[in-house]
Structure 1
Amino acid sequence: MITVDLTAAAELAREALAEYDLDPSAELALLKQRENFVFSLSDGGTDYVLRVHRRGYHTDDELGCELDFVRALHGEGVAVPDFVTARDGRGFCVVGREHAAGVHQVDLQHLIPNRGSFGDERTAVAGTADLDPADFAELGRLAAEVHRATEQSGYTMAVPRDDWDLDGLVGPQPAWGDPLRIEELQGEDREAVVAAIGRIREVLGAYGTPEHRFGPIHADLTPENVLRTADGLVLIDFDDFAAGWHLFDLATALYFFTPHPRYGEYRDALFAGYESVRPLDAADHEVFPAILLARGLTYLGWSADRRGEPTAEWHATTVLPNIVRLSRELVSV
């Protein structure tokens, strides 16, 4: 397996700049490094954000499908990034054919001036995040605008991706890995989670996948993927976009806040904001606890394959008791 470090990522980024007719010597500043390397840069008085994608994370067709989705939302007036077209007319370029790191996809978007992200996962779980319920109402409206715009634009996924459906969440081979592989999950706690997975399959199976409940979603609406700007919230990073339940986006927005002492206020505000744009019915509210727990389980599955990484260890230790609590609550209903 080829490991790409910051130096290699910067070299790949500079190779890509030429594909957008930008100066390869422009100064690059690292903004984020997780699945992708994300840099900021300026050229000719314009500010940009450039992503060097993790090798093999998505095929070219899958990435093209993701960017088409963002463009469809942008065309409907949703607050999302504005991507720059490469020389060949595609929304990204491929570089590194002669680089030791190998072939990588790189895309470029206009930088969104912002005052930082909506929040962060760690203070949410710790219960120290100081957010106003009005923030969640605005976030709910944004999530609903994404789902409404998807329907209005007529967008359909041209390329299959790992769907956030029943099997993708809690099937024999979940999309993000098996949460039961976490070694710390033992005894009665493990039994509670196993029972909850069975309940999730039962509840979501009955809920079904009609178009008004299930379709293309962002799927990673965490606090760090929402920017605060002078014009309101902006949704970024569609890496995990695929077909899924619309409520999955709301579950992702709330999951890390479930241990927070103001969780009830935040949940009610999020749903109120969402329903001010796009109505929900009683079945949506009834099934939400199952989708919320299913979302949490995906992070455990993700962590099982990344033991030793700080974020994975945090999920497998600090956040794990919250999963057990939600599991017990679900099966007790």
Structure 2
Amino acid sequence: MAEESATGRKIIIRVHRPDYHCREEIESELAWIRAIRVTTEVNTPAPLPTKTGSPVLSISVGELTLLVVAFEHAAGAEPDIGDGLPEWFERLGAVTATLHAHSRRWQLPEGFVRKHWNLETMISAQGLWGDWRNAPSMTMNEAHTISEAIPYIKSEIALYGTAPHRYGLVHADLRLTNLLVSGEGMSIIDFDDCGFCWYAYDFAAAISFHETDPCVPQLRDAWLKGYRSVAEFSAADEAMLDTFILIRRILLCAWLATHQESQEGQALGSDFSRDTAVMAQRYMTQRGHPVRDGYLPDDLQRHHNVRMA
């Protein structure tokens, strides 16, 4: 965060990671944000203009060239996991439905380009966030269990498909850290990972790092209630939520591999990959894959009661 010396106005400066988004991708993100602000009631901070005419600036830091964008400052704080969270998730469901409705009707401007979040870019060894097998403390047994679940994921996705009413431009990272709540208001921030993905995936992103918390079923019900107050969310969409939760969880393993210095990376430790393997085994069991005697290592057997949403 920075403060203008002349006005005292607070602004947020986002420095983009090198070699992740090109200028055209960032300009496309900002175009969607501006369209959302003009044609919906979703609260999200505005990108700020610069003297160059482009909202994206290039700065040199040593041999690096970094792309930088400034945004309005938005008041509020991240909601906490607790008794009040279902109420916010109902609100989030309605906001998400509004974003999806906008995405479905918005005509993409010429030159619009954003990444596609699909099985190849999320959970393959060549994923955009790297190989999930490199997660901190990931064991061979855990990696094997997760790998066995991937054909089940692929089968579910193949049946579900990518028809336009199911797959389009989404925020893709509406987790708690990207929500700002204050009083009765909610703002959403950080469209840095917005791209083309399944609409239902936005719920999986919303519970990032909290997938095994006992409150998740309640959060799901609240989110669905809020979503359906604005737009249709079919039974087929709802039936896919567990699949998208597991996809997101595997993707987060890849994220942690390169973000061990982050708050989440410091806090989660080895439990994250272990619990991901438990989730994968439960997912397969629900789809008719038997748990063979001795299949799970002892520590996974002890934690086999970890709850999936």
* Structures share fold, TM-score greater than 0.5: yes
Q: Relative to structure 1, is the Cα distance of residues 49 and 188 closer, same or farther in structure 2, using a 3 angstrom cutoff?
A: closer
Contact preservation (8 Å) 1:142, 1:233:
no
After the TM superposition, which parts of structure 1 deviate over 4 Å for at least 4 consecutive aligned residues?
Answer: 306-310, 313-316
Percentage identity across paired residues of the two chains: 25
Q: Relative to structure 1, is the Cα distance of residues 283 and 157 closer, same or farther in structure 2, using a 3 angstrom cutoff?
A: farther
Residue 190 of structure 1: how far off its partner (Å) = 3.0
> CA deviation digits over 1:142-172, x for unaligned, max 9?
1111111222332368344331112122335
| Aligned counterparts of 1:210 and 1:155: Cα–Cα separation in 2 | 17
Partner of 1:152 in structure 2?
105
Aligned Cα root-mean-square deviation (Å): 2.3
Partner of 2:196 in structure 1?
243
Contact preservation (8 Å) 1:94, 1:104:
yes
Partner of 1:324 in structure 2?
277
Give the alignment's TM-score, normalised by structure 2.
0.83
Code of the aligned partner of 1:79:
N
Residue 26 (structure 2) aligned to one of 45, 63, 66:
63
Q: Relative to structure 1, is the Cα distance of residues 84 and 294 closer, same or farther in structure 2, using a 3 angstrom cutoff?
A: same
| Aligned counterparts of 1:258 and 1:283: Cα–Cα separation in 2 | 21
Residue 87 (structure 1) aligned to one of 51, 61, 69:
51
Q: Secondary structure at the match of 2:105?
A: helix
Partner of 2:90 in structure 1?
137
Partner of 1:14 in structure 2?
none
Q: Secondary structure at the match of 1:81?
A: coil
Kindly indicate whether residue 41 of structure 2 is the aligned counterpart of residue 41 of structure 1. Answer: no
Unaligned regions of 5+ residues in structure 2, if any? 287-309
Code of the aligned partner of 1:207:
Y
Q: Relative to structure 1, is the Cα distance of residues 172 and 56 closer, same or farther in structure 2, using a 3 angstrom cutoff?
A: closer
Contact preservation (8 Å) 1:74, 1:80:
yes
Unaligned regions of 5+ residues in structure 1, if any? 1-38
Residue 314 of structure 1: how far off its partner (Å) = 4.4
Q: How does 1:68-79 map to 2 (within 5 A)?
A: 68-77=31-40, 78-79=42-43
| Aligned counterparts of 1:253 and 1:323: Cα–Cα separation in 2 | 17
Kindly indicate whether residue 57 of structure 2 is the aligned counterpart of residue 104 of structure 1. Answer: no
| Aligned counterparts of 1:306 and 1:113: Cα–Cα separation in 2 | 27
Choose 41-50 or 248-257, whichever is displaced more: 41-50
Q: Secondary structure at the match of 1:103?
A: strand
Residue 50 (structure 1) aligned to one of 9, 13, 17:
13
Code of the aligned partner of 1:118:
P
Residue 78 (structure 2) aligned to one of 117, 120, 125:
117
Code of the aligned partner of 1:200:
I
Give the alignment's TM-score, normalised by structure 1.
0.78
Q: Relative to structure 1, is the Cα distance of residues 201 and 230 closer, same or farther in structure 2, using a 3 angstrom cutoff?
A: same
| Aligned counterparts of 1:100 and 1:257: Cα–Cα separation in 2 | 38
> CA deviation digits over 1:210-255, x for unaligned, max 9?
1111111111111010111345211101111111111111111123
| Aligned counterparts of 1:288 and 1:83: Cα–Cα separation in 2 | 32
Code of the aligned partner of 1:83:
P
Q: Secondary structure at the match of 2:224?
A: helix
> CA deviation digits over 1:282-331, x for unaligned, max 9?
21111111111000111111223455666435455132232122111210
| Aligned counterparts of 2:136 and 2:58: Cα–Cα separation in 1 | 39
| Aligned counterparts of 1:113 and 1:182: Cα–Cα separation in 2 | 34
Choose 261-270 or 129-138, whichever is displaced more: 129-138
Partner of 1:260 in structure 2?
213
Contact preservation (8 Å) 1:82, 1:110:
yes
Code of the aligned partner of 2:133:
L
Q: Relative to structure 1, is the Cα distance of residues 195 and 102 closer, same or farther in structure 2, using a 3 angstrom cutoff?
A: closer
Contact preservation (8 Å) 1:72, 1:150:
no
Q: Relative to structure 1, is the Cα distance of residues 187 and 53 closer, same or farther in structure 2, using a 3 angstrom cutoff?
A: closer
Contact preservation (8 Å) 1:178, 1:301:
yes
Contact preservation (8 Å) 1:302, 1:312:
no
Q: How does 1:304-315 map to 2 (within 5 A)?
A: 304-306=257-259, 311-312=264-265, 314-315=267-268
